[in-house]
Structure formats: C-alpha cells, structure tokens
Amino acid sequence: MASDRPGAAETAGRIPPGQRLVHGWPVSHYGPVPRFRPERWNLRVFGATASGTTHEWAFDDLATLPHVTVVADLHCASGPTSTGHEWYGIPAATVLDLVPPAAGVTHVMAWAEYGFSANLRLADFTSPQTLMATHHDGEPLTAEHGFPLRLVVPHLYGYKSPKWLRGIEYMTADRRGFWEERGYHNIADAWKQQRWSYQEAEDDGPAPAAP
Ligand SMILES: Nc1nc2c(c(=O)[nH]1)N[C@H]1C(S)=C(S)[C@@H](COP(=O)(O)O)O[C@H]1N2
Ligand SMILES: [Mo]
C-alpha cells in the first residue's frame, strides 16, 4: 500500500519508551506565537563569556554562519513523537566556537521570545545533533514551529528545543528553565524517560523552586 507515512518497520527502535507515534507534525507550545520583526530581531550570547561582553547576531548575520542538515525525530514529553524531521541550520557548537565561554561554564540557558527558557548541560548543547534551525524539510520554519530560529536538541524531550530562540546564556552553575521549574525533568533524556522532576536523582540538577 502506497503511503507517505512512516510504517512500523521504518520507525522500529525509534520511538522512545512511553511515546506514541503521530503522523504529521503537531504544534505544541505555551502562549501565543510571536510576530517576527526583522529590524528588532537579534540573537544574543551573554552571561559568562570569556570576554565578559555580550555578542549579538542580527538576522542577516545568520546566513554567514556554518550550516548543517540533521534528520531527527521530535519527542514531546506529553507523549507524541513525530518522525523524520529534516532540520537545516547552524550547529549549536558554533556558538561556543565563535563566542568562547569563560572557564567554568557548565550549562547554557536557551532563551526564547516572551521569556520562555530551557536549561541545558554544555554537552547536550554542543552535541553534534543539536542545531539552531532556520529551515525544516527545505522550507523556512513556519511561524508556529519557531520562525525565524529554533533550537533543536533531538535526544531530549521537546521542551528543551525552544522555538523563537533569542538568546544563549552561558552559566557557571545550573539553573532551571521554564518547564524545568514547573515539574518537568531537569535533564529530559527521552530515551531514559526523564519526564518529571520527581524522577530526578540528586545530581540531575538544582532543586525545583519551592511553592
Ligand atoms: N518558545 C517556546 N518553545 C517551545 C515550547 C514553548 O512553549 N515555547 N514548547 C516546547 C515543547 S513542549 C515542544 S514538544 C516543542 C514542540 O515543537 P513543535 O510545535 O514544532 O512540534 O516545542 C518546544 N519549544
Ligand atoms: Mo512538549
């Protein structure tokens, strides 16, 4: 039977435990979709930089940075896994190369429009699969999927992949991001089913905010 949907054979071993395969690409986020204003848009790298200064890329600067293609699946912590996303964008490790961190940087906070944030261990951020995507399946990202720029961290649950990315903060200690403060796991490895903060081991992160 002809079908453009992934069959069981194609997705065998690709669906993490506790996830269900969905067809198409659901939209999932908290809050409204921000409007893109090119003249105001920038990507800021700040916090514990080696130089002590903030670096900024304007929207047009992005095209001058190195690019890669990564094909990966997307696992939302609420259950859906969508497969076969072809992302095109800037390897996240490029940020560290071009804006060196101070000694002692262990984590980054990825910041999005409206104050959404996700904290990441440096190794997750610089993983060869992690990128700041501008395109999906050969087309610019749509507004609801994060145009003009989103982080994609394929091995972690979707809440570690902020859409509408605007900043990378270098941190010398871990700090919880938006969902990580609201009951979600600080590390979020989809293959280890690290969904909820109550599953965390002591060294998985700082204590969740007190009520
Ligand atoms: N800025 C922002 N990015 C976000 C979110 C959000 O609420 N705000 N939700 C995350 C979650 S929980 C998931 S599963 C993915 C979903 O990406 P998609 O809508 O492209 O499928 O976006 C992530 N990025
Ligand atoms: Mo999600």
* Ligand 1 centroid – CA 188 distance (Å): 14
- Nearest one of 46, 45, 89, 88 to 65, comparing CA atoms: 89
Q: Over 80: is that where the pLDDT of 4 sits? A: no
Q: Specify the pTM.
A: 0.95
What is the Å distance from ligand 1's center to 53 Cα? 29
| Strand arrangement, sheet containing 55-58 | 55-58, 42-47, 165-171, 107-112, 117-121
Q: Which of the listed residues 19, 20, 29 should we mutate to test ligand 1's pocket, taking the one with most ligand atoms within 8 A of CB?
A: 29
* Residue nearest atom 9 in ligand 1 by C-alpha distance: 29
Name all domains of the chain by residue range, CATH numbers in brackets.
39-199 (3.90.420.10)
User: 27: CA distance to ligand 1 center in Å?
Assistant: 7
Name the residue at shortest CA distance from atom 16 of ligand 1.
Answer: 28
Supply 137's token pair.
Answer: 């399946």
User: For the CA atoms of 164, 165, 166, 171, what is the dihedral angle to 10 degrees?
Assistant: 150
Nearest residue by C-alpha to atom 5 in ligand 1: 29
pLDDT tens-digit map of 33-68: 999 999 999 999 999 999 999 999 999 999 999 999
| Average pLDDT of the segment spanning 175-198 | 98
113 to each of 82, 145, 149, how far by Cα in Å?
24, 13, 11
pLDDT digits (tens, 9 = 90+) for 116-127: 999 999 999 999
Query: Residue with the nearest Cα to atom 13 of ligand 1?
Result: 158
- Closest residue by Cα to atom 18, ligand 1, is 27
Instruction: Convert the pLDDT of each residue in 68-107 to its tens digit.
Output: 999 999 999 999 999 999 999 999 999 999 999 999 999 9
Quickly state the pLDDT bin for 171 (edges 50, 70, 90): very high
Distance between Cα 209 and ligand 2 center (Å): 20
Q: What is the DSSP code string of the chain? A: ---SS--HHHHTTTS-TT-EE-SS-----SSPPPPP-TTT-EEEEEESBSSSS-EEEEGGGGGGS--EEEEEEEE-TTSEEEEEEEEEEEETHHHHHHSPBPTT--EEEEEEGGG-EEEEEHHHHTSTT-EEEEEETTEEPPGGGTTT-EEE-TTB-GGGS-SSEEEEEEESS----TTGGGTB-SS-BGGGT--BGGG--GGGSSPPPP-
Flag whether pLDDT at 113 surpasses 60: yes
Give residues with Cβ within 8 angstroms of 62, minimum separation 6.
43, 90, 134, 148, 149
Mean pLDDT (the chain, rounded)? 95
